[in-house]
A = this chain, B = another copy of it.
């Protein structure tokens, strides 16, 4: 019945932030928080009430099926915001991939009745960007093959990490796989294939040199 393994064990998640720090009393007020590797920022089903902004580190947002299959909908890098919800229940969970600093804003303060129009507009803008990214990802998951997915992923990361041709991936193969709708073995094999084709070079498993970005773009379809 099941296509994917349902027995994968994810790293144990550690609840609660390492520490909280009251931020400068500007508007809107934010609270800064630190999270250790694999620490849970919020969980699916929890009550919401905050939006979060990444200061440093990387966050993964994911949804789980009852049997443990996981889909990561986005990786959030410094500057990104996440955690918006329509009702006040989180509909996905968020975890720090490595040591991560975050600022939490009260939802009321950025989108509540008293929030300035410019803040609401800012939020609308970010939400529309998220929507576009997610729609692009639909195309990837629905219609691209494994090699195309990895090529697209590397280009996305390269772009978001500053357009350099050397990139330091923050996440393990397992997370990449759950982002791309593949298994970690397939991801590993596609890395090998890109390497053989001469389009990338692996300095280490996390440090990737893009040797031929043009060829990558062509394959990403």
Chain A residues near B (Cβ < 8 Å): 1-4, 63, 65-67, 69-71, 73, 84-86, 91-92, 111, 117, 120-121, 123-125, 127-132, 134-139, 141-145, 147, 178, 180-181, 221
Contact = CB atoms under 8 A, between A and B. Distances in A.
Copies in the complex: 2
A128 B83 CA distance: 11
A71 B142 contact: yes
B86 A143 contact: no
Contacts of A138: 63, 71, 73, 134, 137-138, 141
A135 B92 contact: yes
A117 B92 CA distance: 28
B221 A143 contact: no
Contacts of A131: 84, 127, 130-131, 134
Given A86-B129, A124-B123, A128-B127, A71 B221 contact: no
A125 to B, nearest CB: 7
Contacts of A143: 4, 65, 69-71, 181
A105 to B, nearest CB: 15
Contacts of A111: 121, 124
A135 B83 CA distance: 13
Contact of A145 (B2, B66, B73, B84): B2
> 7 tightest CB-CB pairs across the interface, nearest first?
A142-B181, A141-B141, A3-B145, A71-B142, A71-B139, A69-B143, A134-B134
